[in-house]
Amino acid sequence: MKIVVVGAGAMGAIYAGLLAENGHEVWACDTWQAHLDAMRDHGLRVEGASGDRVVTTVRVARTPAEAGAADLYIVATKASGVEAAARAIAPLCRPSTMILTIQNGLGSGERMARHVPAGQILLGVADGFGASVVKPGHVHHNAMKLIRISELAGGLTARVERMAELWRGAGFKAQAYGDISQLIWEKFLCNVTFSAPCTVFGCTLGQLMSTPEHWEIALGGMAEAYALGRRKSIAFSFDNPRDYVTAFGAAMPNARPSMLLDHLARRPSEIDAINGMVPVLGREMGIPTPFNDTLVAVVRAREAEFARPPA
């Protein structure tokens, strides 16, 4: 199968490396030229929970058009890059093309469907990876819990089952689901709990949890998101969300959220799709969100500083 991974950062590169190692024609598409050059010239090193290997068969491109038409596009950009990716993929789509979008936060499938046929879109949720770029051409991940996959419109189809099998063949733990909204919201709770708080306090998941005053702020933000999910009748698989997010964090205490990594690199983050979505939905539903209001304000203030030239 020809697969184009659009957005070959930490997570996208892991997808590309393991799928290429399993014999697929895989293209890593990204705008970071040094990363592309390293993959092309020296191979892609993927290390961590899946082992340590250098994959020399990943092909590289700066745009989907350069990679060409594919059987499967995996969109692994940040949430803010989903629409640009969809616009780039749209002219290349054939009726049989599948597009799997895997992001943190909410709304990626809907943003994708503004530009490509909704019937060709699959949704993915990646749980428990803790991935980072060590240097160009070299990525690391702390764990690889599960890739969950569903149709955008829902329903446990044969296509979704085949997609899960594709990922399992490459060494991932993957599962097909008929309705992924519950899973997206459960991941969303974890993102809200750790993304902005770890970024604001400059810490790993474990450090956040071991600092009581910081952890209570994180749990306050999570409780606001949980209240929104309950109002939307999300069928959460647990009764105690505090225990759920605590177990998530305890499984990879040394991980740093991608939002924190963005700030360390002085880049804009996915704040609008994660903690920033909580105040938006809170206003729509009449639910106060003071914890996330404050966390989001701090993150956005710092990102405004990134945009200013040095004095």
The pLDDT assigned to 310 comes to 66
Q: Quick one: which of 84, 131, 139, 163 has its CA closest to 258?
A: 131
Give the H/E segment covering residue 215.
helix 212-231
311 pLDDT band (50/70/90 cuts)?
low
pLDDT attached to residue 296: 98
Model confidence at 144: pLDDT above 90: no
Per-residue confidence at 274, pLDDT binned at 50, 70, 90?
A: very high
Rounded to whole angstroms, how far apart are CA atoms 164 and 13? 18
Tokens for 34, please give them.
């040094």
pTM equals 0.83
Question: In whole angstroms, how far apart are CA 30 and each of 27, 62, 79, 178, 259?
Answer: 10, 5, 15, 31, 19
Chain position carrying tokens 């902005």: 196
The pLDDT value recorded for residue 145 is 85
pLDDT at 50: 94
> Would you place residue 102 in the very low, low, confident or very high pLDDT band (cuts 50, 70, 90)?
very high
Model pLDDT, residue 183? 84
CATH homologous superfamily of 182-306 equals N-(1-d-carboxylethyl)-l-norvaline Dehydrogenase; domain 2 (1.10.1040.10)
**In the predicted model, what is the mean pLDDT of residues 248-256?**
92
Start-end of CATH 3.40.50.720 domains in the chain? 2-179
pLDDT for 154 equals 85
Q: 115-142, pLDDT tens digit by residue?
A: 999 999 999 999 878 788 999 999 999 8
CATH architecture of 2-179: 3-Layer(aba) Sandwich (3.40)
Residue 73 has pLDDT above 70, yes or no: yes
Domain with CATH 1.10.1040.10 in the chain: 182-306
Task: Specify the pLDDT at position 21.
Answer: 97
Indicate if the pLDDT at residue 87 is higher than 70: yes
**pLDDT, position 142:** 85
In this predicted structure, the answer to whether residue 41 has a pLDDT above a threshold of 80 is yes
Q: What is the mean pLDDT of residues 147-174?
A: 94
What would the pLDDT profile of 187-243 be if each residue is shown by its tens digit? 999 999 999 999 999 999 999 999 999 999 999 999 999 999 999 999 999 999 999
Name which residue leads in pLDDT, 180 or 78. 78
Q: Mean per-residue pLDDT for 176-197?
A: 92
Distance, in Å, from the CA atom of 268 to the CA atom of 226, rounded to the nearest integer, reads 26
Tokens found for residue 181 = 């909204």
